[in-house]
A and B are shown apart, each in its own frame.
Chain A
């Protein structure tokens, strides 16, 4: 059977599974789904499908596996590093219709959602029905999906308190490349989705794999207290070498929910300064002040030396820093009037902060790109996601190429520095593999061979040249 007639047959079968209105092999969809807002070049899928249930996903996987059609699961398409492009064609599985919030356990603080549920939808749902609870939302726009972010080891507004979003995962329902539906975590043996322990933790088979091991269809995530009172402090210094210790001291108090740093050349007053945002909440005003004082006391030595201090912000000016997600972050894409930015998010120890910062400035300077640098602390200073964001004008190929170069250069330096690019683009994955313990890579391949014997899951990712 020729490729064209095979695809035609696949389309017909997909129509039978999900309905005609949710299958497209039209040029418009193939074009739009060939790229994300980042710099990676387009790769067209043959078909885009929008399933509505796990059962439909299961049938699609059986069909794809039978005919060895690549399958690429897609959340909101905001990964920026091109992970949900169909590098080898095939089917893009747009999960957005699977957006039901299935359960919220108020007492044990978890929510079970379908994989297409967006951050914004869960946030709004909790606000309406469970105002005392919240989840850790990333700084991605609110259409970003919870499953997508968990599966790439994302982080967010509770990551200082509770780690990576993958650490907040209680369990999964996945459809394997061969069509079996598997439950992982407590939900495998219990009606409750309360944790991944004490069973063998198979969730790791689907976290950080760039969609190469299966399709997540449901997941449970931990929820946290939604405090009535919230505040933010912005600690400022000009000395990058102080930052690891500042963060070490402040995280040591363990009273904040989120700590991020940001360094940007615009506006003028921000250039050259390193800002550390500390977000914290409390049930009472007194508790809030007590927490603020604890954080302040931890860095009092630097304040007394006059080398760092908290920005004096009146209450109204704190609002943008308390907003989750911060709507203004997307605006970085318009810095060059060109609708584009992409970043390297490098996971690394906090010790490397000064070096990481220096490298960021050097790359931006040498390639003349608009930059924004920063980091999010994961856990109690256990590591950080250091980001190097570069804006570009997507209408100007030379500018896109410049940003691409900056990203490539950054990825290479980050790996050499001892960090690991997060949600790495396919070329950056190769950089990581270059440094990876060969036995780990071998193990990855052996696992994938078991899970996905025909190699249909998002092929082109986590592969050597």
Chain B
């Protein structure tokens, strides 16, 4: 059940092997990439399976949408290759398990999916979210994080249940069929990953940035430009849905933000590094974070904008120490209405 929608032939015939050649963390030329790719395809041991940092980026690099990253994770799990130590993986699985405490509730659109970030529900306020409902909790957690832990099995086990929880406890009986995903991770789950695994999603997902862009259009006359220079920290999960990237510039343009030109942005974005720490690769995390922050600083950013709460919690302190103000995209948009108040 929930077989990965993956075409072996496409990869076998692939001439560019972008998934590995473009990798920011593993160093392959085309020849070595093809060898390793073949190893993965055939279920053999591969350096990739041992060293993949699980940044999701190859999902974006693949020109054929053939889910090279999901296959890596699939193979890792089949072969018992754990990117993180067993107790860490096991503990995380228990920590994030559904508590089964969800109860049906009426919601009204727009319904904002806050995933399992109860500490961020305060973001849903003001003009941008007027009349909005939000849903949050372990029972609606998107569970994509298990891609970092070679645990597609947990996604298969939990994600359908989460989707059903959202639908049957909140949306269906409220007559709502749209869900605004606060976090890329949920949007990517429902629109890309679920399809790849053949999991049905009975509602339509809207990316937060699309929602915000349209809201900003509607409230255009009340916007006070924020006038800030911003570095954008693109999260791993946006690699699943790169088509949403343009909304970032859209939003920035609407609220008077200059997105600084820097090396580690867009397709070349760096991971926040927290997953590397889970994989016990502190020195890699240190290096990636240092390069990323140096880059933001050199580009003259005075804000660092996040969409992913995990990236925010990981980098906020380090960003602040560089004199750059860490802020979630949603809160940045709020500034356009709260300035001077």
- Which A residues lie at the B interface, using CB under 8 A? 236-238, 268-270, 273, 289, 292-293, 296, 303, 306-312, 314-317
Contact = CB atoms under 8 A, between A and B. Distances in A.
Interface in B270-298: 274-275, 277-278, 280, 282-283, 286
B48 interface: no
The number of chain B residues touching the other chain, given as a range, is: 20 to 34
A231 B145 CA distance: 26
Interface in B48-97: 82, 84-88, 90-92, 94-95, 97
Nearest to A312: B278
A314 B274 contact: yes
B91 A273 contact: yes
Contacts of B316: 315-316
B286 A289 contact: yes
Given A268-B97, A309-B84, A309-B85, 13 more contacts: A236-B87, A269-B92, A273-B87, A293-B282, A296-B282, A307-B86, A309-B280, A310-B88, A312-B84, A312-B278, A314-B314, A316-B316, A316-B317
B313 interface: yes
A316 B85 contact: no
Given A269-B94, A273-B91, A312-B277, A307 B85 contact: yes
A314 B313 contact: yes
Interface of B: 82, 84-88, 90-92, 94-95, 97, 274-275, 277-278, 280, 282-283, 286, 310, 313-314, 316-318
Given A269-B94, A311-B91, A314-B313, A292 B282 contact: yes
B15 to A, nearest CB: 36
A295 to B, nearest CB: 10
Contacts of A306: 82, 84-86
A309 B88 contact: yes
A72 to B, nearest CB: 46
Contact of B88 (A270, A292, A312, A314): A312
A237 B87 contact: yes
Contacts of B88: 236, 309-312
A268 B94 CA distance: 7
A292 B310 CA distance: 22
Contacts of B318: 315
Contacts of B277: 310, 312
Contacts of A307: 85-87
B85 A303 contact: yes
A296 B279 CA distance: 13
Contacts of A269: 91-92, 94-95
Contacts, number: 65
Given A268-B94, A269-B95, A316-B317, A310 B87 contact: no
With most chain A CB atoms within 10 A of its CB, the pick from B85, B283, B313 is B85
A292 B286 CA distance: 12
A296 B85 CA distance: 14
A192 B83 CA distance: 56
A268 B84 CA distance: 20
A308 B87 CA distance: 6
Nearest to B285: A312
Contacts of B314: 314-315
With most chain A CB atoms within 10 A of its CB, the pick from B91, B95, B313, B317 is B91
Given A268-B94, A269-B94, A312-B278, A293 B84 contact: no
A443 to B, nearest CB: 48
A218 B105 CA distance: 63
A296 B285 CA distance: 14
A229 to B, nearest CB: 11
Contacts of A296: 280, 282
Nearest to A302: B85
Given A269-B95, A312-B274, A238 B90 contact: yes
B94 A238 contact: no
A236 B86 CA distance: 10
Contacts of A236: 85, 87-88, 91
With most chain A CB atoms within 10 A of its CB, the pick from B82, B94, B97, B316 is B94
Given A268-B94, A273-B91, A307-B87, A315 B280 contact: no
A262 to B, nearest CB: 13
A310 B86 contact: no
A312 B85 CA distance: 11
9 contacts: A236-B85, A238-B90, A270-B91, A306-B85, A307-B85, A309-B280, A311-B88, A312-B277, A315-B313
Contacts of A312: 84, 88, 274-275, 277-278
A316 B313 contact: yes
Contacts of A311: 88, 91
A296 B281 CA distance: 10
A163 B280 CA distance: 30
Contacts of B82: 306
Nearest to A313: B277
Contacts of B317: 315-316
A312 B276 CA distance: 9
A269 B87 CA distance: 10
A293 B286 CA distance: 11
A25 to B, nearest CB: 53
Nearest first, the 3 closest Cβ-Cβ pairs linking A and B are: A309-B85, A312-B278, A269-B95
Contacts of A268: 94-95, 97
A94 B282 CA distance: 50
Contacts of A309: 84-85, 87-88, 280
A268 B318 CA distance: 31
A237 B95 CA distance: 15
Nearest to B277: A312
With most chain A CB atoms within 10 A of its CB, the pick from B84, B86, B90, B313 is B86
B101 to A, nearest CB: 13
A293 B283 contact: yes
Nearest to B317: A315
Contacts of A238: 86-87, 90
B212 to A, nearest CB: 25
A314 B314 CA distance: 5
Contacts of A293: 282-283
A242 to B, nearest CB: 10
Contacts of B95: 268-269
A293 B284 CA distance: 12
B274 to A, nearest CB: 6
A237 B282 CA distance: 18
A317 to B, nearest CB: 8
A451 to B, nearest CB: 52
A314 B272 CA distance: 11
Nearest to A292: B282
A451 B316 CA distance: 60
A293 to B, nearest CB: 7
A438 B90 CA distance: 50
A261 to B, nearest CB: 14
With most chain A CB atoms within 10 A of its CB, the pick from B94, B274, B280, B310 is B280
A308 B282 contact: no
B84 to A, nearest CB: 6
Contacts of B275: 312
A11 to B, nearest CB: 57
B315 to A, nearest CB: 9
